[in-house]
Every structure is written in C-alpha cells, then in structure tokens.
Amino acid sequence: MSCLKVGHFQTLDLSSETKVVIQDQLYGSHTISEPVLTELLRSPALARLVGVRQHGISSFLNFTPSITRFEHSVGALLLVRLVGGSLGEQVAALLHDVSHTAMSHVVDFALSEPGEGSFHEVHKMRFVKTTEIPDILTRHGFENLKPLDEELYPLVEQPAPHLCADRLDYGIRDAVGFGNLSLEDAQRTIASLKAYPDADSPHRLLVLQDQEVALTFAKAYMACDRDVWGNAAHGDLYTRTAELMRTSVRSGGVREEELWKLSDEEFWAKMRMALDTNGQDAMRRLESEGLPDDNLPLSRDTKIRTIDPDVCTASRKEVVPLSNLYPEYAAEREQYIAGRRALYA
C-alpha cells in the first residue's frame, strides 16, 4: 500500500522508492528525499509507532483523538526542518520517541522505579539495539549514533517552559485535537516559528515572532494540561491500567520486551488473556464506565505542564519570555500552577 494513514492528522505517500511525501493537516505537504530519513520513515522500528497512541489509555478508550506517536515524531522532524535544522537534528527529532511502548506513558506508572523518569527514555538504547536503527544510522554517516541522544540537539529538546520541537508539536497537535486551539491559530503558530539566533548556533532556541500568537498558544497549552495531561480523571485511568499492566508483566503473561512489539490493541488483547478473572473484570470496567469524576485528587507524581514561550518580534533584537510581555499571563500561569498543586492528594 503506497498511501498510509499514520495518525489523526497525517498520511504518508510511499509510492516512490526515493522519497516520502508527508501530508499533515497542521503543517501541509512536505517531500522528504534525504536517504537516511526516507529509510527511517520506512523502518519497522519507527512504523510500529503508528499503533501506539500518544495519550495511552485515554485515547484507546476514545476519550481523546487517536493521535499517534508516529505522527508526533514526524511532526517534530518537520518543525526542525521548517526552521533550517541540520540533517542530524532532523534525525534526532524523528527518533526522539522511538522507544515508546504500547500504551505510551502508562508504562511509567507500571514499571518505572520511583524517581527513575520516563520508561522510554531510561530504556531507549536497550530497545534501539534490538532494531535496525543503528545499522541505518551507520550506513548514512552517523556511526557515533549521536542522533539517538536528543538532549544534544537544542531544537529538539529544551527544559520547560521553553519551546522545543517535541513540546511544540505535541502541544499544537493535542490543542487542535482537544478543541483548545483552532486549526488556523495552529498554522499561525507554525508560521511564526524560527530558530534564534539561527539554526546552527550552539545556543539555538525555537522562538515565536508574534507575541499575540504566542499568547494564544500558551493559553491553549495550559488548557490541554487542565483537560487531559494533568487531569485527575485521566490520571485515574492511567493508574488503574498501569496496575493491570504491572500484574500481567510480573506474572509472565506479557513479557516486558513485548511492550515494544505490540500495538495498543494487541497489548490490550494479550493482557486480557494474561489476567485472572478479577483483572479481566477491571478491564471491562475501564471499557464501560466512562471517564471518572474529575474532582479526584491529583497524584503528587502528576506533572503540571505550562509554557512561557520565548518571543522575538521584529521590533526587538533580544529574546524575551512571553510573561515579560504580558504580566497578566505571568499571573495566570502562576495562579494555575498554584491551583493544581492545591489538588495534590
């Protein structure tokens, strides 16, 4: 099949052996012809992410759109590409989430040790070494495998509250998917993006050139956290699913390595077979009960996600945080963070 739907907003045209055409409702049409990128886009290790939803159990149960890890990975690549990032940085963006397991961040609650961090980050090289990715990178001049460490690429990863390709793509994609940002405002955000001072500087940043666009996006991002990412009802779904995942792995019914091989649907079916009657009943309740009450307390492990985008307008030579331009946004952001912390159990 030459044309493939790979996510909620995205399709790939694979009809040519030398290029891949990406159609993305947010970013438009892009033709990828660099051999390392086209080979990675066709690789089984990356293609498996088409079956892994960005929002884990929330999306699996249809409470959020079926945005996939694959389309997010491609989106991060396109953002780096749009601002003139190097080929290595584009590869790093494409591969930054390649080690996500079935159900995405559910595994963090199931198998990560306290304080360990995200499972897919901790175990990235463990997974990658079992795939064709090192050979692909080596064949195309990346013998040092440097693009597998996205922290070395400032356009791909930055600490919050700065923008980076990872944070910007999932923020825009989710904000449109959740109804918190219009498609037109999403496209204005993308059009406002640039690398500062340039895409090759050691201290490069993704910045927005329109402060009103930055404000609209920042508020939409905060709404996504309130409604889904840091929402207690969605968190309850995650913890309940994680307990079942942990039980199925520890019993041997699902091998840990299979979490990197199974799609969300395949994992769910295998977990159902691995669990006892009580576990299967718990799965049926997840499937039938609907979204829990969002007045539940927040777990202290819940991230509070907000951004303070760096802005560089035509009238300014320096980059300044959005909160410096809009003190009212600074106050709203601080109030939101304090309010979320007050919900901690």
Work out the number of other CB atoms within 10 angstroms of the CB of residue 205. 19
Three-class SS of residue 206? strand
Output the pLDDT for position 115. Answer: 81
Three-class SS of residue 248? helix
For residues 264 and 103, the answer to whether their CB atoms sit within 8 Å is: yes
Question: Residues 190-234: pLDDT tens digits?
Answer: 999 999 999 999 999 999 999 999 999 999 999 999 999 999 999
Q: In what order do the strands lie in the sheet with 10-13?
A: 3-5, 10-13, 20-24, 28-32
pLDDT band at 188 (very low <50, low <70, confident <90, very high): very high
How many residues in total does the chain contain?
345
Output the pLDDT for position 52. Answer: 98
- Tracing tokens 């300014």 back to the chain, one arrives at 316
Output the pLDDT for position 114. Answer: 84
Beta-strand relationship, 10-13 and 20-24: antiparallel
Three-class SS of residue 3? strand
Three-class SS of residue 24? strand
Question: Residues 140-168: pLDDT tens digits?
Answer: 999 999 999 999 999 999 999 999 999 99
Distance CA 83, CA 81 (A): 6
Tell me the mean pLDDT in the region 111-120: 90
pTM score: 0.97
Output the pLDDT for position 31. Answer: 98
For residues 46 and 95, the answer to whether their CB atoms sit within 8 Å is: yes
Torsional sign, CA 165, 166, 171, 176: positive
Write the DSSP symbol of residue 226: I
pLDDT at 2 over 90: no
What are the residues facing 23 on neighbouring strands? 11, 29
pLDDT band at 293 (very low <50, low <70, confident <90, very high): confident
Question: In this structure, what token pair is assigned to residue 249?
Answer: 């792995």
- Tracing tokens 């990872």 back to the chain, one arrives at 166
**Which alpha helices (DSSP H) does the chain contain, by range?**
35-41, 44-47, 56-60, 69-82, 87-95, 106-111, 119-122, 124-128, 133-139, 165-177, 183-191, 211-224, 232-250, 264-274, 277-288, 322-325, 327-341
Output the pLDDT for position 212. Answer: 97
